[in-house]
Amino acid sequence: MPIQERFLLSVDLESVPLMRSRALVIGSGVAGLAAAISAARHGPVILAAKGILDDSNSNQAQGGIAAALGEDDQPELHAADTMEAGGGLCDPEAVRILVEEGRLRCQELIDLGTPFDRENGEIAFTREGAHSRRRILHANGDATGRAIVATMLTRVSHLPGVLCLENHFAIDILHRDGVCYGALFLDTKYGRLLRVEAAFTVVASGGLGQVFRETTNPAVATGDGYAICYRAGAVLQDMEFVQFHPTTLYRAGAPRFLISEAVRGEGAYLLNQMGERFMTRYAEAAELSPRDVVSQSIFKELNRTGDTFVSLDLRHLDPALIAERFPNIMAFCADYGIDIVQDLVPVRPAVHYMMGGVKTDLDAATSVKNLYAAGEVASTGVHGANRLASNSLLEALVFGHRAGAAAAEDIHPFPDPLLTRRLPAKGTRLDVEDLSRSLKAITWRNIGVYRNGIHLLETVETIRAWSTFALSEQFQMRPGFEVQNMLTTAMLIAVSAMRRTESRGAHQRSDYPESNPEWLSHNQVQIDRLDGEMSISGRLAWKP
């Protein structure tokens, strides 16, 4: 089915200012910073951020980073928990790399001075849902991502070979004949184009939460990396597996602020509006079940009771512990009149993380030569159908490092550029803001926690129709480029979800409520360059 690609009206790439570097990294979260630090050992690096350097999903991560560093823990236990949460779709070798190299990468963060919280001089660990051990490192209570990003940014600032470009939006990948050699950027501060050519490119652009109406993700998470890699011909995998975080603040006038899973890890309960602890009705592990189970259970309870939210209860916990572990959550809720020590906290699920993404091998390489992907935008095989809590920062750290290590490869010659150039269709013109709101509404309604074939088909056909309309001049600026990427990404999710005729992990179909052993496989999506349509295939996954 057709999907709109970026159109560039009469862009003469030869006239666009050019920069060259051994490595180009797109994104400044943990994955991008890890790639830049690793790549800088082999030559110069250009690190491009869509906004300011510390505006990323990584920076907002609260709960922590998982690593088997405790005396009672082993990488094999961490691997087993990861595989159990992943619904049969985790790649065992990728998981092995994650848990083993993750310990080394976390130790490097400790050595760099990351201010992880301590007890009696030793690293303090907490536990989150579906972990069998207390293995979550955290910093400043509930500001782990911010602490890690700050530490890594300091490290990057002391590397003379790294040039950081803020406010540079990646419009598209430069590629020809299946080879990537950089990207075209829009300098959003000055409205100028910039062409960056590089021996290899790492896309570490983060997630896609802004495709949906309710999300924990920052405004920059518009799915750009998925879209630009798709247009460059890369294979994307498992795009149906969108993770909802079970507990985000649900208060009028407040953003969907994430209430960390670590709150439940420390003993908080979920209550319905009648004051009943309902999770024991749906899962043996109750509040410490995997995220997909908790999110789905909350929606079942809301459907049963007719309410719009449930409540998180911390009132039985030690107030001193709450203040020490969750100072940012406490302060944010207080701004909206909620004292988390004494009051129930209204919560409901919201889009939080994409398990699928650009398919990579164990060294973060995509199907396009010299194009790598790391972090949330990538599908490494680690998360399967449902990500284990606090594995996201770890994956970004481990595979970002691996992507950067690819800088040791020989530099290839830079070919003539190739970019998709499509003139807008004739017909009704669309407004950027109206289209964005309409897209968020239909994805939230039809590609949410529960899905069915009729609504998925409606979504696909609606997005296809929107993608053929003429677009105003606004669509040649950042907001317009973002909306086009959101359309592409939403279509990738809807098509993948429509094809997977079963329920598994974060993908739940009301018309196919059971898991099907025949679907122990991956959805793969790739653009067909001949007609611009999607090519969809399935590949068998590892079977236990």
Residues 6+ apart with CB under 8 A from 509: 450, 451, 452, 453, 497, 500, 501, 502, 503
Residues 6+ apart with CB under 8 A from 392: 61, 353, 376
Edge-to-edge strands, sheet with 378-379: 378-379, 357-359, 236-237, 521-527, 534-540
Tokens of 200: 């290899």
Residue of 291, 348, 500, 509 with catalytic role: 291
Give the H/E segment covering residue 521.
Answer: strand 521-527
Residues 6+ apart with CB under 8 A from 24: 45, 46, 48, 182, 183, 196, 197, 198, 200, 201, 202
**CA–CA distance, 92 with 96 (Å, rounded to integer):** 6
CB 55 within 8 A of CB 49: yes
**CA–CA distance, 167 with 185 (Å, rounded to integer):** 10
| Nearest of 521, 515, 517 to residue 538 by alpha carbon | 521
Question: Mapping DSSP to helix (H, G, I), strand (E, B) and coil, where does residue 338 land?
Answer: coil
CB atoms within 10 A of CB 433: 11
Task: State the alpha helices, DSSP H only, in 327-412.
Answer: 327-335, 392-405
Give the H/E segment covering residue 84.
Answer: helix 75-85
Could you tell me whether strands 450-451 and 378-379 are parallel, antiparallel, or unpaired per DSSP bridges? unpaired
**CA–CA distance, 419 with 26 (Å, rounded to integer):** 18
Encoded amino acid at 349, one letter: P
Does the annotation mark 41 as catalytic?
Answer: no
Question: Which residues are catalytic, by number?
Answer: 291
